[in-house]
Structure 1
Amino acid sequence: MNLSRWKLAALFIVFTNCAQAQKLDRTKVHEILAPVPSLLKQHYVNRTLATQYSDAISKIIQSGAYDKITNEDSLAKAVTRDLKIITKDGHVYVQVLKNETEEDTNWEVAEQKREQVTNYGFTKVEIMDMRVGYMKIVEFMNSKTAMPTAVAAMKMLETTDTLIIDLRGNGGGYPGVMEYIMNHYYEGEPILLSTTVFSDTALQPKTNYSSDLVYGKLRINTPLYILVNNRTASAAEYFTYTLQQAGKAVVVGEQTAGAAHMNDLYELPYKFRMSISTGMPVNAITKTNWELTGITPNVIVDEKMAEERALELINKAKH
């Protein structure tokens, strides 16, 4: 059964112990992992690499590398570690679950707690000297709950001359809020931003266009600086890459994580499941994306110096 989650996934990989953890043996380990190579081969979005990755994890499984693991969490972590080495893809992993209802409830509770603790992802919004607006976004939360905060943040900063959006440590999240902020930098007819292609050939490619959905002032001519580091990933990278390649933003900081893919979840025996990258965004300008390579900033500096360097650039541009 394919448990599909359609969003630009944040790189949170949470391993949960079963309510009554079962002890594994060699037979159960093989039952759990038997579908892994075929699932990877069938569903991984890069079809030229799918067989290679499938063969690699199959060899490790057949070697008996996991046979002596008796703890569920340890098995999930060990297989995930090897999948990361093989694919270098942050959206490919194995996890063990509680029962479905409990897991879903825990996931929702955890997300609600993050929303409350982080002000729906917007941990800092301020107007600095030189009429510079600053916005720190630690995660792109669900637009159903976070959109009012996003609208208020952009409204607060709409009279500033320059905007800094700090995405250092932002692992991604949902697309809605991210796209809303991006819309402030486009006007007129919708512009094709990207096309997502899928490993499932029955699915039509999904196009993503700019939108005039903005509750406030457009920022077309407002200089934009985006701060990033090696933990900036997924939806945060989509935001950064799209605006950088369109010439609408100066990116300052470190090379980003390189997690462009979108994932689906597949059931494995004994309440395990596997995440596999099944969707790949293709930028309308570059005809590629940032998977594995990450985004190279326009100005490369240590993440701790990114804000200071951006302010120096802004000050220089004003004088």
Structure 2
Amino acid sequence: MQLITSALDLVQQHYIFPDTAAEIVAAVEARAAAGDYDGLDDETLAARVTEQFLATSGDRHLRLLVRAPDHRAATTEAEAEAAWADGQRLANHHIATVQRLDGNVGCIDLRGVASPGTAGTAIAAAMELVAHTGALIFDLRRNKGGDPEGVQLWHSYLFPDSDTHLNDIYDGETGSTRQFWTLAHVPGHRYLDRPVYVLTSAFTFSGGEEFAYNLKALRRATLIGEVTRGGAHPTARHPISATLEVAVPHARSINPVTGTNWEGTGVAPDIATPAAEAMTVAYRLALEHVLTTGTSQAVLAEAREALTAFSH
């Protein structure tokens, strides 16, 4: 069918591993010739083709997807980008909550990583609200990924200057490698000399994994929770109809500390615990830090009361 042909053409043109792309095309064409995709609705077709993509490549980013309803009118790249940006704005750039917990512990529930071109103001506002806390928790347990430049901005708040090399991305289409370093300037206060805890789950994916992996490699955060899903290949989405699009990885991450990435393996936490318990573990550690470093009697009283509540 034409939809399958269009999807496979895009895989062959753009996939980061050309040899694997040829294997994927052969496998899907064989199933199509056998009639495995005949008469399927969009959801079933997308799931079945994606299943074959994964079986051949092991790449969780390579997918046939049903397009979001709000994006179906977007037929050009500019329209798709505008629809995407509007969705990011309405989702508050994936910043679900920003809290000051008792004991002066900051907590940011981050469900994705938006582009700083649209989300920079929101990211700066979130970091300003936790700027004076004694410890900081990033909750990435429901983070499904996003923009490497967004990761770069978030991480720039956690280091003192522009001298920290965060990540590299090799683009297979251009043969070029882009380096990502912390930024020389961030709006507001940097978050330095205080502990950072990152919560992960088996759902955490892609840009959320980079967020965790970079900080673990640089020993800037303690990761608490579960091994993440394992997707390290930056991806572009290409519409093939009003209702379907194919997501094709065209690049791969190369961490400057480890020389590799988390593709297929996920990011392992420093403290392994079920995702549902990760917040409790992190909050306890943060409170213990506040109690050993804090000077405000009001904050110390809050921290003692919050820590005591764990034993009841």
Report TM bin, short chain.
0.7 to 0.9
In the alignment, the residues of structure 1 paired with residue 51 and residue 108 of structure 2 have an alpha-carbon distance, to the nearest angstrom, of: 34
Letter in structure 2 aligned against 1:168: R
Root mean square deviation of aligned Cα = 2.9
1:268-303 deviation per Cα after TM superposition (whole angstroms, max 9, x unaligned):
589854321111010000111111111001011111
Partner of 1:180: 153
Letter in structure 1 aligned against 2:55: I
Contact 1:126-1:157 at 8 Å conserved across structures: yes
| Larger helix proportion of the pair | 2
Q: 1:81 aligns with which of 36, 51, 54?
A: 51
Partner of 1:64: 35
Contact 2:162-2:181 at 8 Å conserved across structures: no
Contact 2:24-2:57 at 8 Å conserved across structures: yes
Contact 1:99-1:271 at 8 Å conserved across structures: no
Given the alignment of the two structures, is residue 139 of structure 1 paired with residue 112 of structure 2, yes or no?
yes
Q: Identity across aligned pairs (percent)?
A: 24
Partner of 2:296: none
In the alignment, the residues of structure 1 paired with residue 79 and residue 10 of structure 2 have an alpha-carbon distance, to the nearest angstrom, of: 27
Partner of 2:270: 298
Question: Deviation of residue 36 (structure 1)?
Answer: 4.7
Question: Deviation of residue 104 (structure 1)?
Answer: 7.3
Alignment of 1:94-113 (within 5 A): 94-95=64-65, 98=72, 100-101=74-75, 108=82, 112=86
Question: Deviation of residue 172 (structure 1)?
Answer: 1.4
Partner SS for 1:163 = strand
Q: 2:26 aligns with which of 47, 55, 66?
A: 55
Distance 1:163 1:203, change over 3 A: same
Q: Structure 1 residues 262-271 or 225-234, which shifts more?
A: 262-271
Alignment of 1:146-295 (within 5 A): 146-200=119-173, 202-266=174-238, 268=240, 273-295=245-267
TM-score (norm 2): 0.80
Question: Deviation of residue 210 (structure 1)?
Answer: 1.4
Question: Deviation of residue 41 (structure 1)?
Answer: 4.4
Distance 1:58 1:294, change over 3 A: same
In structure 2, runs of 5+ residues without a counterpart are 293-312
Letter in structure 2 aligned against 1:160: T
1:151-181 deviation per Cα after TM superposition (whole angstroms, max 9, x unaligned):
1221121111111111111111234443222
1:178-229 deviation per Cα after TM superposition (whole angstroms, max 9, x unaligned):
32220012224433322211222x3421121111221222223110001111
In the alignment, the residues of structure 2 paired with residue 307 and residue 234 of structure 1 have an alpha-carbon distance, to the nearest angstrom, of: 21
Distance 1:60 1:189, change over 3 A: same
In the alignment, the residues of structure 2 paired with residue 143 and residue 292 of structure 1 have an alpha-carbon distance, to the nearest angstrom, of: 27
Partner SS for 1:78 = helix
Given the alignment of the two structures, is residue 46 of structure 1 paired with residue 17 of structure 2, yes or no?
yes
Contact 2:143-2:208 at 8 Å conserved across structures: yes
Q: Structure 1 residues 234-243 or 37-46, which shifts more?
A: 37-46
1:36-81 deviation per Cα after TM superposition (whole angstroms, max 9, x unaligned):
5554345321355334433333332233312x32534443332123
In the alignment, the residues of structure 1 paired with residue 166 and residue 76 of structure 2 have an alpha-carbon distance, to the nearest angstrom, of: 38
In structure 1, runs of 5+ residues without a counterpart are 1-28
TM-score (norm 1): 0.78
Partner of 2:97: 124
Q: Structure 1 residues 242-251 or 80-89, which shifts more?
A: 80-89
In the alignment, the residues of structure 2 paired with residue 38 and residue 302 of structure 1 have an alpha-carbon distance, to the nearest angstrom, of: 41
In the alignment, the residues of structure 2 paired with residue 126 and residue 272 of structure 1 have an alpha-carbon distance, to the nearest angstrom, of: 38
Partner SS for 2:183 = coil
In the alignment, the residues of structure 2 paired with residue 45 and residue 77 of structure 1 have an alpha-carbon distance, to the nearest angstrom, of: 22
Contact 2:105-2:287 at 8 Å conserved across structures: no
The number of residue pairs the alignment matches comes to 287
Partner SS for 1:178 = helix
Contact 2:161-2:182 at 8 Å conserved across structures: no
Distance 1:54 1:128, change over 3 A: same
Contact 2:85-2:118 at 8 Å conserved across structures: no
Question: Deviation of residue 142 (structure 1)?
Answer: 3.7
